[in-house]
Structure 1
C-alpha cells in the first residue's frame, strides 16, 4: 500500500533525532518512490546494518556517499 507524503513527513519528524544518532548519517528526506513516499537516509560512508527497513509503516531507503544507489 502506498504511503502518503504526510505520513512520511510525520515519520521523518518523529524519528529524525533517532536516525541522526546513527554513525555517518548525513541527511533524511522524504522521497517519492513508485506510487508513494519513503524516508531516504543518506550516510557519509557505509550504511549501518541496524538501519530499520521501515518506521511506522513508512519504507526507509538508504544510500552512502561512497556507494551511490
Structure 2
C-alpha cells in the first residue's frame, strides 16, 4: 500500500514528525510518499530514515519540490 503526506509550506521539524508518525502506523512492505518544499526538511527526513535502515528514493519533481519514497 502507498501512503502519502503533503508537507508543502511546512518547515522543520513538522515534516519529519509527521513522517515518523505515519511510518510507525504502516505495515511492513508499505511505501510512504512525502512531498516537501524545504531543503532542511528533505535533509532531516533523509538522515533519520537512512539511519534506521530504510530504503529511500528521492526525486526533485519541480525546482525546490521533492518527493521522498520510504519503504518500510
Greater relative contact order structure (CA < 8 Å, 6+ sep): 2
Q: TM-score, normalised by structure 2?
A: 0.30
More helix by share: 2
Q: TM-score, normalised by structure 1?
A: 0.31
